[in-house]
């Protein structure tokens, strides 16, 4: 009987050891590169995961367009070197995107790049339906297995295993007592046994409690830091963001896209102010004094709202009526404790509007397509090279830093762009 008990104890140790190894391999599997997280951290500032163009090309289907072999790794890690080598495809893309230089990502390993590209190739999931009107925040949808679900399954299996081992131990103990002529010891209720175990294993319980507490704090932190961040990637190839309805259905696609009106024609503060500014409806009247209707459905009613706001009388061709100010709903909102200057980014940094605002030229109703979080901005500053050549603002800085960094691209972060006081003071 003693040998049998030793065998059972040995088998229990083997089971626990095997379960530990299984858990270690499971967690290692989850430690593999996360393509979605890598894309959002390194690529989302300039690329869409769909086939839509942004500052750079859309990445869905890119493997079918680029040269094979190690070209993708060489391009991501140092695109300037590939262009300088005279590679035909690289030079073609460089010219197509107005000589915009893709910043190097030497820290990305080959498996990281493969994970990003695998993530962006998933284009077979139906796109979520997005309706215009009231503010909408789509529900999270993912084609990946939820790690929380796996943890629950593992915990259930552990509880079952503990119950089986406990039942076996009790039966063997009673069998041994019966052989020795000792009275049978009744089984302690499970909860009472659990309390007894915790009382005699306080250190283990404390470690488990600390682990659970830290896990909950981490989960809570990531949940709370998303409050107020409306742009959300709910689909591998689709950004669905905050897009409130407006009192006048102004289409950026018609004005900025089809008619190619420059952003700064309406947003006059973008080059000389911290804020880009909401255009006055009087700016609209520069064109709509003449244009009172277009071929687009409902255009006459929407243009009439402009006349009402400005006090314009189409019949008398004069501003004879009382003005009624338009209250627009703001789309992109930064916290009050954040300093952001459009002038600094647009004039000095020469940042394109779509890099932060998305593909506005194709938006009927403007939506927030970028998260605009601190992490997103900091990552952009870490990876975006300063455009110093011919930029008088950076002349002295360029002379001071080019000896230190030589041929290495000087990023915004290298010039102090991630110091706390730059944005918070």
* pLDDT higher than threshold 60 for residue 23: no
pLDDT of 26 above 50: no
The pLDDT value recorded for residue 132 is 37
pLDDT tens digits, 364-397: 999 888 888 888 899 999 998 888 877 787 777 7
pTM more than 0.85: no
Question: Residue 55's pLDDT is what?
Answer: 67
pLDDT at residue 202 greater than cutoff 50: yes
Between the alpha carbon of residue 168 and those of residues 7, 142, 181, 187, 207, the distances in Å are: 12, 42, 20, 11, 27
DSSP 366-425: ----S---HHHHHHHHHHPBP--TT-GGGHHHHHHHHHHHTTS--BTTTTTTT-HHHH--
Residue range 70-89, pLDDT digits in tens: 998 998 888 889 889 999 88
pLDDT at 1 over 50: no
pLDDT (mean) for 204-221: 90
Is there a contact between 384 and 103 (Cβ–Cβ < 8 Å)? yes
The CA distances from residue 186 to 183, 189, 211, in Å, are 9, 9, 34
Q: What is the mean pLDDT of the chain?
A: 80
d(CA 263, CA 242): 21
pLDDT above 50 for 266: yes
pLDDT above 70: residue 238:
no
Between 139 and 100, residue with greater pLDDT: 100
Of the listed ranges 13-17, 121-125, 133-137, the one predicted with least confidence: 133-137
Task: Answer whether 243's CB lies under 8 Å from 366's CB.
Answer: yes
More confident residue, 127 or 63: 63
Instruction: Please tell me the predicted confidence (pLDDT) of residue 223.
Output: 78
In the chain the domains, ranked by start, together with CATH numbers, are 35-120 (1.10.760.10)
In the numeric block, which tokens belong to residue 135?
Answer: 């503010």
Lowest mean pLDDT among 51-55, 169-173, 294-298, 360-364: 51-55
Q: Average pLDDT of 169-179? A: 82
What confidence score (pLDDT) does residue 237 get?
56
In the chain, what percentage of residues exceed pLDDT 70? 83
Question: How far is residue 302's CA from residue 288's CA, in Å, rounded to a whole number?
Answer: 11
pLDDT of residue 139 exceeding 50, the answer is: no
Q: What is the pLDDT of residue 27?
A: 45
Kindly tell me if the per-residue pLDDT of 149 is higher than 80: no
**Distance in angstroms (rounded) separating the CA atoms of residues 358 and 50:** 13
pLDDT of 48 above 80: no
**Which residue is it, tokens 């041994």?**
176
In whole angstroms, give the CA distance from residue 81 to residue 43: 19
DSSP 253: I
């Amino acid at each position: 009987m003693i040998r049998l008990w030793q065998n059972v104890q040995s088998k229990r140790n083997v089971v626990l050891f095997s379960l530990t190894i299984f858990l270690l391999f499971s967690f290692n599997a989850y430690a593999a590169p996360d393509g979605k997280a890598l894309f959002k951290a390194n690529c989302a500032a300039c690329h869409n995961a769909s086939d839509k163009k942004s500052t750079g090309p859309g990445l869905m289907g890119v493997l079918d367009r680029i040269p094979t072999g190690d070209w993708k790794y060489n391009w991501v890690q140092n695109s300037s070197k590939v262009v300088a080598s005279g590679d035909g495809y690289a030079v073609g893309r460089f010219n197509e995107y107005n000589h915009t230089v893709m910043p190097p990502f030497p820290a990305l390993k080959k498996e990281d790049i493969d994970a990003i590209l695998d993530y962006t190739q998933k284009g077979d999931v139906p796109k979520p339906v997005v309706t215009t009107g009231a503010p909408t925040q789509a529900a999270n949808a993912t084609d990946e297995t939820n790690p929380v679900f796996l943890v629950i399954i593992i915990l259930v299996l552990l509880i079952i295993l503990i119950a089986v081992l406990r039942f076996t131990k009790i039966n063997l103990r009673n069998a041994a007592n019966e052989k020795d002529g000792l009275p049978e010891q009744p089984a302690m209720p499970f909860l009472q046994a659990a309390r007894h175990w915790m009382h005699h294993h306080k250190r283990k319980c404390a470690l488990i409690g600390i682990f659970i507490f830290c896990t909950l704090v981490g989960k809570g932190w990531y949940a709370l830091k998303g409050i107020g961040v409306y742009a959300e990637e709910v689909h591998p190839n689709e950004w669905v963001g905050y897009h409130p309805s407006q009192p006048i259905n102004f289409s950026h696609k018609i004005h900025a896209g089809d008619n190619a009106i420059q952003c700064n024609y309406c947003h006059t503060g973008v080059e000389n102010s911290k804020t880009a500014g909401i255009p006055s409806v009087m700016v609209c009247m520069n064109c709509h004094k003449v244009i009172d209707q277009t071929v687009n459905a409902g255009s006459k009613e929407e243009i009439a709202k402009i006349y009402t706001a400005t006090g314009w009388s189409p019949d008398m061709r004069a501003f004879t009526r009382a003005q009624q100010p338009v209250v627009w709903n703001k789309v992109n909102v930064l916290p009050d404790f954040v300093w952001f200057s459009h002038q600094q980014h647009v004039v000095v940094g020469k940042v394109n509007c779509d890099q932060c605002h998305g593909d506005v030229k194709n938006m009927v109703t403007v939506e927030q397509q970028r998260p605009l979080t601190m992490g997103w901005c900091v990552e952009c500053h870490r990876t975006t090279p300063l455009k110093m050549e011919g930029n008088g603002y950076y002349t002295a800085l360029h002379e001071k830093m080019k000896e230190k960094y030589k041929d290495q691209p000087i990023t915004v972060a290298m010039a102090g762009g991630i110091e706390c006081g730059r944005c918070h003071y």
